[in-house]
A and B are shown apart, each in its own frame.
Chain A
Amino acid sequence: MSFVEYGEYIQEGDIAIVFLGRESMFPVKAQHGTQTQTKYGVIRHSSDLIGKRFGSKVNCSKGGWVYVLHPTPELWTQNLPHRTQILYSTDISMITMMLELKPGSVVCESGTGSGSLSHAIIRTIAPTGHLYTVEFHEQRAEKAAEEFREHKVAHLATVKNQDVCKEGFGVVGVADAVFLDIPSPWEAIGHAKAALKEEGKVATCS
């Protein structure tokens, strides 16, 4: 599995979304020997997760059951650990359509934040596009890069830890689209123009 490619069976190292109810879901990383506690009991990864088909029912020790789902950027948005306020799928869909993102698009984004929009962009531009995302907070930048690696999309994203208003995106003339979600987006407009190709789109939100 990866966030940009469907897999059928859960493998070691995969992320799966454990579903107990619409308001009750959480992501879990499948690892041999690990156990996950839920209110319906224990899920033993080696026997209950690994090798199971995504979408199947998993019986927990106390007699209840849960579903294990394939991760998608939408499910990730609903379940990711918040480090900042995030964008939700409704706004993300508008951004994706208005910026005309599609496979092969090159996108520059700042700030990365908790990676909610980033994951959605990566999914849309795969397999030939690229996302250059800039985050000025060191720990958040590192966490984002780590998550991309874990979700097997690191080859599609570059995380830079710098201030986009001062140093820009780190690339020039390559982007089809730029997205700004920062406190003072007007300060980054010059850099956005530099990062864009001759023709490109800019969107910001607040």
Chain B
Amino acid sequence: MEKISVDHRTIKEGDYVVLKRENVFKAVQVQIKRKVIFEKQWLHLDSVIGQLYGTSFEVAAGGTLQAPKPNPEKNPKETKEAGMDNRNIVDDGRSQKLTRDDIETLKEQGLKGQEIVQQLIENSSTFRDKTEFAQEKYIKKKKKKYDNTITVLKPSTRILALMYHGREPGKICHLRYDTLAQMLTLGNVHAGSKIIVFDTCAGLVLGAVMERMGGYGSVIQMYPGGEPVRAATDNFGFPEHFYKTLHEFPLCKVNLLLDGTLSLDKDKKETVSAVDESNGAMSKAPQDSVQKMGEEVEGEKDSAQASPEVDTMEVTSELPEDKEKEERAARRENKALEKKVKQEEKRKKHLEAAALLQGRNADGLVIAGRFHPTPLVLSLLKFVAPSRPFVIYCQHKEPLIECHTKLRERGGVIGLQLSETWLRHYQVLPNRTHPMLLMSGGGGYILSGITVAMDTATSSGPQKTEEPAPKRQKLQDTES
């Protein structure tokens, strides 16, 4: 165990890491002799291998990252000359004596960020008149621009959620990180459970669920279309054994599984029928899922055609053109074989997932995506055991309102709650602590609830005594 605890703090080749500069993050994989672009610079990550996570590096010329030297950073606090307020400071844009070219020269000379900032301070005519707070703010601003320090972080839900929300919120349906935190807790995602996840947020939610499961239990990802999307999941850099707990199952076959008519035999016809299913099952599925299924079917046909062609090729004489054709045919056959192998693997995975789903005893359901949640929930909830929480995320509240109504009609759920969280950042500095900005309406909404045993008996509970009875009487009246 000790080896692991030291190892996992050291950066190794092939690790997925997150680069950070000020408040900008980027997830990359550490590979030797590979350039990575980050913040308008090309970087070589070779020198970070062997260092500890959390280390900050200076970007040297050429894009190599230099390990930090133990700086005596402690600049003695010189009694700074500072003004009282800004009544005499005129902002005419001429207070900085260094020109742009001067600064470029300094940069080329190889001066570090810290030193450039020092130069800027010395050449600013108004610096001395600023208040202490204003001076600090000025230094901070210049540092942000000229300091070239990059920190290498170990990926986690927190960092990746922050990154995606800042960089590409569209890819994750504008899921703000505090909303993601709510989902994980409301869904009681923990080690040892069996969770069904539907995620079209690039796999971020899936990764977050897997992190909370710690490799124990199992996660079944339901996916639309041909392949599950797991771009963000890879960025977490999970160890191999985590992936053994991850299964996937295509949405288009869910109805078959529920009806009990799913057959995962090596039947080519089945892929064609699956295309029809996908057309029917998802009311608002996008076009690409249908197209993808179509492509799969075509692929099969190609492989079927490849074999007879190769046979005929071999029979005829070995002319150079024929040889080229033969090579092409051989390549095609190889591809077809590869495809068959892949399909076989896929089939096996689906079988595993189907076995897990079959019991209809999943411990939770997490849905986050750009599809309308109602049909998804209504069908996927059937796989969840009673007294288990489920969570649905949607960027907008209207689909969730409809979902809420439909779930009420369906019954078998309690504690339905539609919520939204607000997140406010604070600047925390001595005498300057105050809220920074209020983010509202930008983080998405969550509908959560708990499953219970479905009502099988006709005898109604205290909430429903009034309604059903009179209706039944009326019907009887008209019948008689």
A interface residue numbers (CB < 8 A to B): 4-6, 8, 19, 22, 40, 53-57, 64-65, 67-70, 72-74, 89-90, 92-94, 96-98, 100, 102-104, 120, 123-124, 126-128, 198-199
Contacts and interface: CB of A to CB of B under 8 A. Distances in A.
B462 A94 contact: no
A116 to B, nearest CB: 12
A65 to B, nearest CB: 5
Contacts of B389: 72, 74
Interface in B418-468: 421, 450-453, 455, 461-462
Interface stretch (B177-185, B262-270, B350-358): B177-185
Contact of A97 (B177, B193, B213, B462): B177
23 contacts: A5-B192, A6-B192, A6-B363, A22-B414, A55-B452, A56-B452, A57-B453, A57-B455, A72-B188, A74-B185, A74-B188, A89-B182, A93-B178, A93-B181, A97-B158, A98-B158, A103-B212, A103-B216, A123-B190, A124-B190, A126-B192, A198-B9, A199-B52
Interface string B165-200: 000000000000110111011101011110000000
A40 B214 CA distance: 42
Interface in B21-64: 52-54
A100 B156 contact: yes
Given A93-B182, A97-B178, A123-B188, 19 more contacts: A6-B192, A22-B414, A53-B386, A53-B453, A55-B387, A56-B386, A56-B453, A65-B461, A67-B453, A74-B186, A89-B186, A98-B181, A103-B216, A120-B185, A124-B212, A127-B192, A127-B216, A128-B214, A199-B54
Nearest to A98: B158
Contact of A69 (B191, B450, B462): B450
A4 B188 CA distance: 9
A157 to B, nearest CB: 15
A172 to B, nearest CB: 16
Interface residues of B, number: 45
A70 B185 contact: no
Given A4-B192, A67-B414, A124-B190, A93 B184 contact: yes
B415 interface: yes
A128 B4 CA distance: 14
Contact of B385 (A55, A93, A102): A55
A55 B453 contact: yes
A42 to B, nearest CB: 16
B388 interface: yes
A199 B10 CA distance: 12
Contacts of A40: 462
A103 B388 contact: no
Contacts of A89: 182, 185-186
Interface of B: 9, 52-54, 156-158, 161, 177-178, 180-182, 184-186, 188, 190-193, 211-216, 361, 363, 385-389, 414-415, 417, 421, 450-453, 455, 461-462
A63 B12 CA distance: 65
A152 B27 CA distance: 40
Contacts of A53: 386-387, 453
A69 B453 CA distance: 10
3 closest A-B pairs by beta carbon, nearest first, are: A55-B386, A103-B214, A55-B387
A54 B181 CA distance: 26
A162 to B, nearest CB: 28
B211 A22 contact: no
Contact of A94 (B181, B211, B388): B181
A156 B216 CA distance: 17
A102 B192 contact: no
Nearest to A63: B462
B414 A19 contact: yes
Nearest to B453: A56
Given A55-B388, A89-B185, A127-B191, A102 B212 contact: yes
A97 B212 CA distance: 10
Contacts of B9: 198-199
Nearest to A122: B190
Nearest to A54: B387
A69 B452 contact: yes
- Chain B CB count within 10 A is highest, among A92, A98, A103, A127, for A103
Given A40-B462, A90-B421, A70 B388 contact: yes
A8 B385 contact: yes
Contacts of B53: 199
Contacts of B192: 4-6, 126-127
A29 to B, nearest CB: 17
- Chain A CB count within 10 A is highest, among B190, B193, B211, for B190
A203 B453 CA distance: 40
Nearest to A62: B462
A55 B361 CA distance: 12
